[in-house]
Structure 1
Amino acid sequence: MKRLTSTLMGAAVVSLAASSVQAQEKELNLYSARHYQTDEQLYSNFTKQTGIKINRIEADDNALLERLKNEGKNSAADVILLVDAARLWRAQINGMFQPVKSKVLDARIPANLRGKDDGNGAEWYGFSTRARIIVYNKDTVKPEDVATYESLADPKNKGKVCTRSGSHPYMLSLIGSMIDRNGEQATEQWAQGMVTNFARPPRGGDTDQIKGVATGECGVALANSYYYVRLLRSTKPDEKEMMSKVGFLWPNQKTSGTHMNISGGGVAKNAPHRDAAVQFLEYLASDDAQAYLANGNNEWPVVKSAVAKNPALESLGKFKMETVSIATIGKNQIAAQKILDRVGYK
């Protein structure tokens, strides 16, 4: 009887252990820099489809990267979502991702929107895109005078240009793209021209640049497309009036195309639920998930078959996109920062 009881107890322990492992596999720890309302539906749909519960840690990119650094190999993170090529590259060189080989991701995510693949799979993938547009004051600036990124450094635009800090990842990514297209020497000359043309020292976010253009403090500014669309969709009287005073254009339409950036992510280096993490990334590449990702922040899906119906975004029209590799843009941010330091672009 003792032997039978012991055997039954042992079987129960094994059964409980197996159940525990199975339960653990039915969850996913997500570290995300995204914080949009439509993401709730995005995550709940994944759980409905797979039975995998999502545990979320949300913070801005820098806070997440610092947390991951402090947690090291003991981190509980399975998936890391970040919102700029410069930040994705920073996480990659700090060893926070692991490569993923996935036929689904390789088939649906364009090659120029993935991290470098050495044969073991990419370490991160882009899941939505945004454009770096030029916004100008319709009363004081002619659009043909600011039709390219390069034209902002032209002497005719002296005292008109506003940007956020040059060291912000959005700006580092743009400059990284310019280095790839024009070379470091030409890009440094451009950065010096930008400093000469400032209407005010760089400060604030992209919304502040658009407001500066509307008030006339700035003649022209750079902003990510989703900030512009967010204000276009606003029902607030003051913001509607503000947007009536500004125009926008897609830069470099006759040359390289408009600079594009991404929101993307990958599987964490020490992911305790790796299979669930890969499954989640593949889900993000589905048509339905792509629509949620894009609409949540007024961006574009990266998968060609996905459709995100957003009238305000669609009203901006079609445009020529830059095709520089996002991985290259991220890699060039070190050279970009050195250029900024040399010319005094704060």
Structure 2
Amino acid sequence: MRLTSLTALAALAGGSAFAQEVNVYSYRQPELIEPIFDVFTEETGIAVNVAFLNAGMVERLQAEGERSPADLVFTVDIARLMEIVEAGVIQPVDSDILTADIPAAFRDPENRWFAVTSRARVVYAAKDRVADEDITTYEDLADPKWKGRICTRPGTHEYNVALAGAYLLHHGEEATRTWLEGLKANLAKKPQGNDRAQVKSIWAGECDISLGNTYYMGQMLADPEQKDWAESVRLLFPVFENGGTHVNISGVAMTKAAPNRDNAVKLMEFLASPEGQQLYAELNNEYPISPETPPSDLVASWGSFTPDTLELKDLAAARPPALRLIEEVDFDG
């Protein structure tokens, strides 16, 4: 069963034809999680009902309180996940399976949230205009040699705020401000659109490099209208000086209300299992958080990298000061 509105999902609180179900509020795009939920339903007989939100998840859960029909929340970016946790609308989940399958670095010490995938924020580079050695660090993005050659989605988007937050943790406030100013000076056009739109701009000759999450390459290659964009670029995995490649997560948490708690735990455990992790790897071109599950052949073909070692909780805490700096330099202006 699939629901696409909050009104429809809220109606489930009054009863449903499904004897076994679990209700989800999700910031994740439908195409990224519905195929995995379909497999879970086929194997368990538990229906997954999903309401997809663009914003306002915390406010919705706070307003619904104990009456909320939602069992689980799914989101991208550790900062957004921590926002939900800190709002007091979720509950911890003690599961030996989750503890065994998810490495400690990818779950909350108090079992309030659990990562299910990871992704790197990398550089998409024009194959015919940029060499591999031209850009090796995030610091390079502020080099004047890239003036008028960089495209990116808005700096205030969560993906870029997280990257700026990581830069802040590595280098401090003044260096981050200088870096943001340098990056802004190198932009070919006003920040707009999503990560795939930036690759289209490279393909069209509007810029030479862009910032983007790794899994978008897989999505573009699978889309006949976007395949040419993807084939015009290569992925480069920059690192922070004295650090690694910036990595963020998608994650899940259980709501405080959770009317279908047992089924919700089963879904969480399925997503962390070898089968669930392999599905994520093959269907979404994301990196599994399980060290036992390899990336898909396509993802592996993009090359290996060394993940940055910043702790996710620190990355989440860096979001407010990073966003403040982005706004102070008027990055999107």
TM category (shorter chain) comes to: 0.7 to 0.9
Measured after TM superposition, the shift of residue 222 of structure 1 is 0.2
Q: Give 1:249's match in structure 2, choosing from 223, 236, 249.
A: 236
Contact 2:120/2:246 (<8 A) preserved: yes
* Larger Rg over CA atoms: 1
Distance 2:58 2:280 in 1: 21
Do structure 1's residue 73 and structure 2's residue 66 form an aligned pair? yes
Distance 2:209 2:31 in 1: 31
Contact 1:287/1:305 (<8 A) preserved: yes
Measured after TM superposition, the shift of residue 94 of structure 1 is 2.0
* 1:284 aligned counterpart, secondary structure: helix
Measured after TM superposition, the shift of residue 200 of structure 1 is 1.0
Question: Once structures 1 and 2 are overlaid, which stretch shifts more, 178-187 or 259-268?
Answer: 178-187
Q: Give 2:213's match in structure 1, choosing from 208, 211, 224.
A: 224
Q: 1:244 to 1:38 in 2, by over 3 A?
A: closer
Equivalent residue runs for 1:151-162 within 5 Å? 151-162=140-151
CA RMSD of aligned residues (A): 2.5
Question: What letter matches 1:269 in structure 2?
Answer: K
Q: 1:207 to 1:24 in 2, by over 3 A?
A: closer
Moved over 6 A (4+): none
Q: TM-score scaled to structure 1, two decimals? A: 0.83
Q: 1:282 to 1:187 in 2, by over 3 A?
A: same
Measured after TM superposition, the shift of residue 40 of structure 1 is 4.3
Equivalent residue runs for 1:152-301 within 5 Å? 152-236=141-225, 239-252=226-239, 255-301=242-288
Q: Give 2:85's match in structure 1, choosing from 70, 81, 92.
A: 92
Measured after TM superposition, the shift of residue 25 of structure 1 is 8.2
Measured after TM superposition, the shift of residue 248 of structure 1 is 2.2
Q: Which position in structure 2 is the counterpart of 1:31? A: 25
Distance 1:322 1:65 in 2: 29
Do structure 1's residue 136 and structure 2's residue 163 form an aligned pair? no
Residues matched between the structures, number: 317
Measured after TM superposition, the shift of residue 113 of structure 1 is 1.8
Distance 1:303 1:312 in 2: 18
Measured after TM superposition, the shift of residue 105 of structure 1 is 1.5
Question: What letter matches 1:98 in structure 2?
Answer: Q
Q: Which position in structure 1 is the counterpart of 2:327? A: 341
Q: 1:234 to 1:29 in 2, by over 3 A?
A: closer
Q: Deviation per CA, 1:275-298: give whole Å up to 9, x if none.
A: 332232122111111122233321
Among all aligned residue pairs of Structure 1 and Structure 2, give the percentage whose two residues are the same amino acid. 38
Q: Deviation per CA, 1:69-109: give whole Å up to 9, x if none.
A: 43233211111111222221221222232222222222221
Q: Give 1:305's match in structure 2, choosing from 292, 298, 308.
A: 292
Structure 1: segments with no counterpart, 5+ residues = 1-20
Contact 1:36/1:296 (<8 A) preserved: no
Contact 1:154/1:193 (<8 A) preserved: yes
Distance 1:105 1:339 in 2: 37
Distance 1:339 1:160 in 2: 23
Structure 2: segments with no counterpart, 5+ residues = 1-14
Measured after TM superposition, the shift of residue 65 of structure 1 is 4.2
Distance 1:250 1:343 in 2: 26
Measured after TM superposition, the shift of residue 191 of structure 1 is 0.9
Do structure 1's residue 321 and structure 2's residue 307 form an aligned pair? yes
* 1:242 aligned counterpart, secondary structure: helix
